[in-house]
Amino acid sequence: MRRLFLVAVVSLLAVTVAFFLHKKHSPHRHEHCSNTDYGHGVTCVSGAGDGGNEVNMTSRTVFYRPTKGHAVIAAAYTCADKDCQKIPATTLAISDNIHDPEPCMIASPHSPFALNETSAGTQKLQEYIWVCPNIPDGITSFTARCSVERGCTYITLTITEWTGLATSDVFDADGGGCSSVQEAKANLSTSTPTRYTNELLYTFMDNTRDLTMTPQPPYHIALQFFPGNIDTAAVVATPGPQTSTTTWSDNDDWYGSIVAIRSASSERAGN
């Protein structure tokens, strides 16, 4: 009887651990924009994302079919090892089913962001945000690919589709941030003030325990394919220092990045 009891306990633990490790594949939460008007002519059409527990990965693919000529924002992060304790020495490139890499995808000025927590989790990640201002025809999937075969861990990729953004010189400021103490909110700020009116401020964030993240006004969810992962966005009319705030229910480690993307109606401050 004791042996049967131990076997049952071990089996239950195995199932619990498997569920925890695979949780970012869970379909129970998938919230995304749906032709959502962000103001000043900017609309978020839709989006998709995927992540998981895989270690020693080469790539992550998200299946999504944008409309030719629309803008696409891709964001991705990776760890180097299963505990996210080593600083990643690899890089990520973004491709699609047409081009590898996709030449229209432009990385933000400081991508990749080195996000090294000094809070309890001490996780070390690398994160990117790219924009394609004019997506080619025939795209059905996007792939974040590691520069070293099987050299990345926990690659996570999100895709959102937009109209009303600038078609050239798309980026203004950007910035990355991570926790120095465990807390129930995150503030992400651009490293320099923005310079243009009517810019799209866009973030990609994660927390360790996958607690459901909630953006604070004026930011809204652009994509949340799993509770602990979130892309948020707001169109901000006035140039200057920019900070987004996201909250959750209990203290946790966190990391993320923020970018300012010019809209079609953006104008240089002072013009």
- Tell whether 268 is covered by a domain: no
Q: Is residue 270 part of a domain?
A: no
> Tens-of-pLDDT digits for all 271 residues of the chain?
333 333 333 333 333 333 333 334 444 568 999 999 999 999 999 999 999 999 999 999 999 999 999 999 999 999 999 999 999 999 999 999 999 999 999 999 999 999 999 999 999 999 999 999 999 999 999 999 999 999 999 999 999 999 999 999 999 999 999 999 999 999 999 999 999 999 999 999 999 999 999 999 999 999 999 888 999 999 999 999 999 999 999 999 999 999 999 999 999 987 6
50, part of any domain: yes
Which tokens in the block code for residue 157?
């990729």
User: How do beta strands 220-226 and 141-146 pair?
Assistant: unpaired
Is 254 part of any domain? yes
User: Is residue 269 in some structural domain?
Assistant: no
| Rg of the chain over all Cα atoms, to the nearest angstrom | 19
Query: Could you tell me the pTM of the whole model?
Result: 0.90
Q: Is residue 9 in a domain?
A: yes
Q: Is residue 149 part of a domain?
A: yes
Furthest-apart CA atoms within the chain: distance in Å: 81
- Predicted local distance difference test score (pLDDT) of residue 18: 32
Q: How far apart are CA 240 and CA 125, in angstroms?
A: 28
Contact 67, 136 (CB under 8 A): no
Shortest CA distance to 224 belongs to which of 2, 47, 12?
47
Using the CB atoms, write b or e for 32-44: b if 16+ within 10 Å: bbeebebbbebbb
* Domain tally, the chain: 1
Q: Which domain holds residue 55?
A: 2-262
